[in-house]
Amino acid sequence: MLDWWLVLLLFLVIVFVVWWALTRQTDGGEAAHEGHFEAPAAEAAMEADDLTKIEGIGPKVQGLLNEAGIKTFAQLAAKSAEELDAILDAAGSIYKAMDETSWPKQAALAAAGKWEELAALQDELVGGR
């Protein structure tokens, strides 16, 4: 009968020690990073531009560009037409007919805040061409 109580007591002590060690490790990790917490996903979402303002880019293409790491007008302006074509080709044949040659130029105007010049350029374009 004494052996059963001893086994139970030993089990409870082991559970307590493991619980204490795990909570101490978690507390130590949180304390080390306290005040330095950053939410990179939230910041990235806040900094993202509405790429659908570019003639020829709709919500689905914006999603493809975002997945490829292109979330701002400046990032889009830095890409070549060939790089954009590779992104669209990888997404499937439905995007092969798209002409992305003017997107970097449009994005550069948008990134610079030249909205009137962008509007004038877009008046000349048909579906991004």
Enumerate long-range contacts of 58-64, CB under 8 Å, 24 or more apart.
Answer: 61/88, 61/95, 61/98, 64/88, 64/91, 64/95
* pLDDT on residue 23: 80
Q: Which of 67, 64, 62, 63 is nearest to 107 (CA)?
A: 62
Tokens standing for residue 21: 């060690």
pTM for this predicted structure: 0.62
pLDDT (mean) for 107-128: 87
* pLDDT on residue 107: 93
pLDDT 10s digits, 8-67: 888 899 998 888 888 876 555 544 455 555 555 555 455 889 999 999 999 999 999 999
* pLDDT on residue 31: 47
pLDDT 10s digits, 59-93: 999 999 999 999 999 999 999 989 998 998 888 88
